[in-house]
Amino acid sequence: MPYVNTLELVREAEKHGYAVPAINIVDPLTIGAIVRAADEVGSPVILQTSVKTVKSAGADVLYAAVRQAADKASVGVSLHLDHCPDREVITLCVEKGWSSVLFDASNRDLETARRETAEVVEECHAAGVTVESEIENILGVEDGVGSDEATHAYTVDQLIEVATETGTDMLAPALGTAHGQYKAEPVLVPARVKEIKDKLDIPVVLHGGTGLTDAQFHEFIDQGVSKINISTALKHAYMKSALAYLRECEAADKWEPVKLFAEVEKASEAVLREFAEIFRSAGKDGNR
Ligand code: 13P
């Protein structure tokens, strides 16, 4: 069954020097398109839902669509809850069958973040769900979660101490990236990835993928990043392909929703193909 745990996918990526594309889908249309493209290029894929997407589409609809797409695929597919500071939404997704969650405690002080992350890890592990932890804030607001200001920043030793104590499975540290489009050239710290991994054998996740260059991605992967998050690029592909088609509809005064869905699917598939090539995950997983 190609519906797998996120940790399995990222551990495999670490072994073979690539990163798994973790794409924030927004509805069943994008779920189908991303999995189909991943299957075509032989790349494992992590489908991510923001809290906003869970609330808009509904957990049952999203989970059913992911399982349906994954069951037809020959590559590993997992379902991850992205940036979630809300414990109730974590419990909901754990109960519904998500593979992993990002407990975003970056809005808590260090002691609260440590205590609550340990509680979330206990709850998730009891259900076989793995946990990504964020206690430093990654800049930018994504689907209503996060901040444009750096509020919590810690040393690598502090990050490692909390990750070890809480038993978290994956770590999302601040690496100089930001969510959304870059307004200025980011000051990236890829060396921090290796510094963490030299001290603790834990998968490191890169957020804020949209807008980085191929060379910047490769440097992060070479330092040990094995999961890279992409959201804004898919949103743009979705909305711009829809807009272009709607303009055609307007010019011709002919309105065909099914053709609109096809345009959005085509644009979404192209996003997965592009990043699977850059992240070197294409061709790595086709034999399940
Ligand atoms: P972008 O929106 O910059 O692609 O970042 C995605 C992300 O990190 C989701 O957690």
pLDDT tens-digit readout, 226-275: 999 999 999 999 999 999 999 999 999 999 999 999 999 999 999 999 99
Mean pLDDT of 7-28: 97
CA 218 / ligand 1 centre spacing (Å): 17
CA 279 / ligand 1 centre spacing (Å): 15
- Give yes or no: 109 in active site: no
Give the distance, in angstroms, between the CA of residue 175 and the centroid of all CA atoms in the same chain: 15
Distance between CA 133 and CA 155 in Å, rounded? 15
Helix (H, G, I), strand (E, B), or coil: what is residue 228?
A: strand
Residue percentage of the chain with pLDDT more than 90 = 91
- Cα–Cα distances (Å) from 121 to 160, 168, 203, 221, in that order, read 15, 6, 16, 26
DSSP for residue 193: H
pLDDT over 90 at 283, yes or no: yes
Burial of residue 27 (CB within 10 Å: 0-12, 13-18, 19+) is middle
Per-residue pLDDT reduced to its tens digit, 208-235: 999 999 999 999 999 999 999 999 999 9
Best mutation site among 6, 26, 230, 238 for ligand 1, i.e. most ligand atoms within 8 A of its Cβ? Answer: 230
State the catalytic residue, choosing from 27, 39, 60, 82.
82
pLDDT of amino acid 288: 53
| Banded pLDDT at 286 (limits 50, 70, 90) | low
Pairing state of beta strands 204-206 and 225-230? parallel
| Banded pLDDT at 131 (limits 50, 70, 90) | very high
Name the residue at shortest CA distance from atom 8 of ligand 1: 207
pLDDT of amino acid 152: 83
Superfamily classification of domain 6-278? Aldolase class I (3.20.20.70)
